[in-house]
Amino acid sequence: MEFSGTINTDKLSARFKKLGDSFEPVMVEMVNELVEAHRGSMTRRVSNRALKRRTGALARSARTELATTARPEARSMIGRGAPYAKIHETGGTITPRRRQFLTVPLRNALTAAGVTRQAAKLERGSSGFRTKATVPGAASRDTFIFSAVGGRRLIAVERKGGGVLPLYILRKRVTIPARLGFRDEWRQLAKNPRKYANRALKRWLAGAGVRS
């Protein structure tokens, strides 16, 4: 799901109208400054703070639609190509739809960047499941389920030299906290747009050949 926020410009438009029609481009620039600031803040947030970056799809999905008219409505959006943005924004519990358990990848099934290894993805074989290719450190592709300490159930493969190599943990549900902060960040930026108005005014004055 893609999130979006739109700047309501009615009050701002009325203020700029009092200054004259020539100031309408300043309002457009101000709104664009604000949504660009929000897009930038969300890109930094998902890359560095609230979420550990893996594929980068969520950060890349942060984008803007800029205003070009006298009564602008510019938007800041995130989530296109990253449908899991919704659960990171609102929080919630994920449960399996078609099967009894969710398969949550463990470290052995992940690359150094935290992305699930292509080799570790499971495919159905003639006698159960197996990995798509041999996982590093594994003796074969054939998987099996076993119960670990505490009653946790895991999918694993046989380790070279003996023992097991855990790949996934089976869970009935996974709870994700609300941690994206798209709407909260938007509200904070939109609460006091003065500094963005100042930037837009300076740029407009410079373009008009007036020293500020």
**Per-residue pLDDT at 50:** 55
- Reference 128, options 164, 95, 157; nearest CA is 157
pLDDT digit string (tens) for 142-163? 999 988 888 889 999 999 999 9
Q: What does the pLDDT read at residue 77? A: 93
Residue 77, judged by CB atoms within 10 A of its CB (0-12, 13-18, 19+), counts as buried
Q: With left for phi above 0 and alpha for psi between -120 and 50, is residue 128 left, alpha or beta?
A: left
pLDDT tens for residues 23-63? 777 888 888 888 999 999 898 888 765 566 677 888 889 99
Per-residue pLDDT at 93: 95
User: What number of other Cβ atoms are within 10 A of residue 8's Cβ?
Assistant: 11
Q: What is the DSSP letter of 193?
A: T
Neighbours of 124 (CB within 10 A): 8
pLDDT at site 209: 62
- Edge-to-edge strand list for the sheet holding 75-78: 3-6, 75-78, 63-65
Identify the bridge partners of residue 128 per DSSP, sorted by sequence position.
125
Residue 184 host element (H or E):
helix 182-191
Comparing CA positions, the residue from 70, 56, 60 lying closest to residue 16 is 70
Average pLDDT per consecutive 10 residues, the chain (212 residues; last block may be shorter)? 79 71 78 89 77 78 86 86 89 90 92 86 83 92 88 92 93 92 88 76 71 52
How many CA atoms, within 13 angstroms, populate the side-chain half-sphere of residue 212?
11
Task: Report the pLDDT value the prediction gives residue 210, as an integer from 0 to 100.
Answer: 56
